[in-house]
Amino acid sequence: MDNGIGIAQDPFGAADADDGSLTVALFHYVPRPRQFKDALLSAWTRLVPAPTVGLRFANYDCYYHDAEHRPDVFVFDSLYLRHFVHRQDLLPLPEALPTASEDVQDWALQASAVDGTRYGIPCHGCMNIFFYRADDRDLDPDGGGPLTLDAMRRIMGEADPAGGPAPPPGKGLLLDLTGRTTCAGLYLESWMDVHGAGDPYPPLPRAPFDAFDPAALANLETLRAMAGDAQARYFDKEATRRLTWFLQGRGRALVGFTEMLAHVPDPSLLRFRPLPLSDATTPYQSVYVNLASVSSAISPAKQEPALRLLDLMTSTEVMVHSLRPHGRGTNPQNPQFIIPARRTVLDTLTAETPGYRAIADLIAGDAGRPCRPFQCGPTSGQATIRAMGGNLRNDLLPGNNLKVGSGLESGSEPPDYDREAPENEKSRPGNLFRRN
C-alpha cells in the first residue's frame, strides 16, 4: 500500500487490467520522481468531489516502449506524439482541456495538438543547453546574440586527441554521445537548424540509416571534436561522473538540461545557454515538451476520472509542489529546475527561487528567438529513432565497444509496472541527457 491507495502486483498489468483503479505513469527522467508522485497522490485524495477510483502507479518509458504497453494515463515526450496519434493510441481530449489554457506557454500548447485535435496536456519541457561558469565572459558576452556552433568552437578549441575521459581543468566540452536517443535527437535538431527552419518536423534518413546528411553530421562531429573521442564515448554507468567532474573544475562547458541544476550545491555559480547545433542562427529555439495523455484503450467507465486526473496532474498546484525545493531544515534540496509549461508555475517558482529566473529568461527567447516544440513525424517511433541513433553513434564514435543492434528494436518488452525504483536510481542527473 502507498498512502492508502492500492499498488498493483501484476508486473504486466496495463490499461486493460481493470480492477477499478487508474493505472498511471509519470515521467521519470527527472531529478526526484517520487516528489511528482507524492504531490499527485496528495492532491487526488483531497479532490472535491472525492475520487471514486484509486491510482496504480506504473513504470512506463516512452523512449523504450511503444504505446501498446501504455497505462490509462501516462506522461511521454511529445517527440513521439504524431507516432502515437498515427497508431490511434491516444484519446482525443475535450475542448475544455486544458483548464485555463491561456496560462499554458504557446510552444507547449503547440506540442499537444495534431491537425486541430488536442491529445495531451503539457506539464513540463526541456531544452538542449550547455552550462559554463559564471565568470567565463567569453561564453557569456554582455549583450551578445545567439551563439553559433563555429563561434563556440573558436572559443572552446578542440580537445587533445590523446586525452582521456576526464578533461583538464577549465578546458574541453563534457558531452555524452553514448545514448542512441540522444544522438538521434541532436542530429535531427541539427538538420532542422541547417535545412528545415520552416518545416514542422525533420525527415529521417532512409534505413538502414547509413546515409546521414553531411552538413548535419558535420555539426555533431564538431561537437565531438570539442569533447574529444575518449570523453564523448565514456560510458558512465551511474550517469553522474560528468557533472561531478564539471563541479570539480574540469572542463569548460557541460552539455545537458536545466534539471541538472537540481544536483548543483550552488547553482548561482553556473550559467547556461541553448546548445548551438549549427553555424546558422535559426529564428526559433527547440523545446522537448512532455505531455500527459489518456490511452485510447481505456474503458469508457474510467474516462471521466482519467480526464479529472489529467487536469489535476497538470495543474498549477500539483506542478508547483512537484518542482519546488524538497525537504525541510537548514539544508533542503534544490528545486527540480525543470521548465514548467504553465506561466503561473514559472512565476511562482521564480518568486520563490532566484535560480528559476534564468529558466524564465531562457524560454523568453535567446535574442528574440521564440521557442518551438521539437517533434518527429508519424512514423518516427522508438524503434526507428533508437536504430537510427545506434548507427549515428557508430559514425560519431568509430570503433566504440558499445552494444548496438543491427536491426530495428521492437520495444515489445512489457514495462515493469508498479516497481519502485531502487535508491541509487532515484537521482540521475546525467541520465537526464543520456538516454540509451
What pLDDT is recorded for position 17? 47
Cβ(307)–Cβ(93) below 8 Å: yes
Instruction: Assign 271 to helix, strand or coil.
Output: strand
- As a whole number, the mean pLDDT across the chain is 85
| pLDDT for 206 | 77
φ, ψ at 235 (rounded to 5°): -95, 110
> Are the CB atoms for 287 and 371 separated by under 8 Å?
yes
Kindly tell me if the per-residue pLDDT of 105 is higher than 80. yes
- The residue with greater pLDDT, 196 or 22, is 22
- The pLDDT-based confidence of 408 (bands split at 50, 70, 90) is very low
CA neighbor of 259 nearest in space, from 336, 151, 357: 336
What pLDDT does 330 receive? Answer: 54
Burial of 240 (0-12, 13-18, 19+ CB in 10 A): middle
* Element of type H or E holding 117: strand 117-118
* Averaged pLDDT for residues 325-331: 70
Backbone CA torsion sign across 384, 74, 86, 116:
negative
Q: Look at 110-124, 136-150, 267-281, 408-422 and tell me which has the smallest mean pLDDT.
A: 408-422
Q: Which of 138-142, 191-195, 255-259 has the lowest mean pLDDT?
A: 138-142
pLDDT at position 197 is: 64
Q: Mean pLDDT across the stretch 41-53?
A: 94
Share of the chain above pLDDT 70, in %: 84
Average pLDDT over residues 195-217: 80
* 45 vs 10, residue with greater confidence: 45
pLDDT average, residue stretch 63-74? 83
Q: Of 97-101, 189-193, 323-327, 430-434, which gets the smallest average pLDDT? A: 430-434
* pLDDT, average across residues 89-106: 96
pLDDT band for 143, please (50, 70, 90 cuts).
Answer: low
Confidence band for 67, pLDDT divided at 50, 70 and 90 = low
Instruction: Report the percent of the chain where pLDDT is more than 90.
Output: 66
Residues across the chain? 436
Identify each DSSP E strand in 53-100 by its residue range.
55-57, 73-77
Residue 169 pLDDT exceeds 80:
yes
Domains in the chain, please, with CATH? 129-281+353-404 (3.40.190.10)
Q: How far apart are CA 167 and CA 157, in angstroms?
A: 13
Residue range 66-87: mean pLDDT, rounded: 90
Cell numbers representing residue 275 in the block? 546548445
Listed in sequence order, the residues at least 6 apart from 196 whose beta carbon sits closer than 8 Å to its beta carbon are 202
Q: Which of 8-12, 43-47, 347-351, 430-434 has the lowest mean pLDDT?
A: 8-12
pLDDT at position 96 over 60: yes
pLDDT at 417 over 50: no
Q: Indicate if the pLDDT at residue 424 is higher than 80.
A: no
Q: What is the DSSP letter of 181?
A: H
Has residue 258 got a pLDDT over 80?
Answer: yes
Confidence of residue 198 (pLDDT cuts 50, 70, 90): low
Per-residue pLDDT tens digits for 307-323: 999 999 999 999 999 99
User: Residue 210's pLDDT is what?
Assistant: 77
pLDDT of residue 238: 76
Q: Mean per-residue pLDDT for 380-407? A: 75
If we measure between CA atoms, which residue out of 283, 229, 266, 287 comes closest to residue 79? 287
Distances (CA, A) of 76 to 168, 201, 313, 346: 37, 18, 13, 21
pLDDT confidence band for 337 (50 / 70 / 90): very high
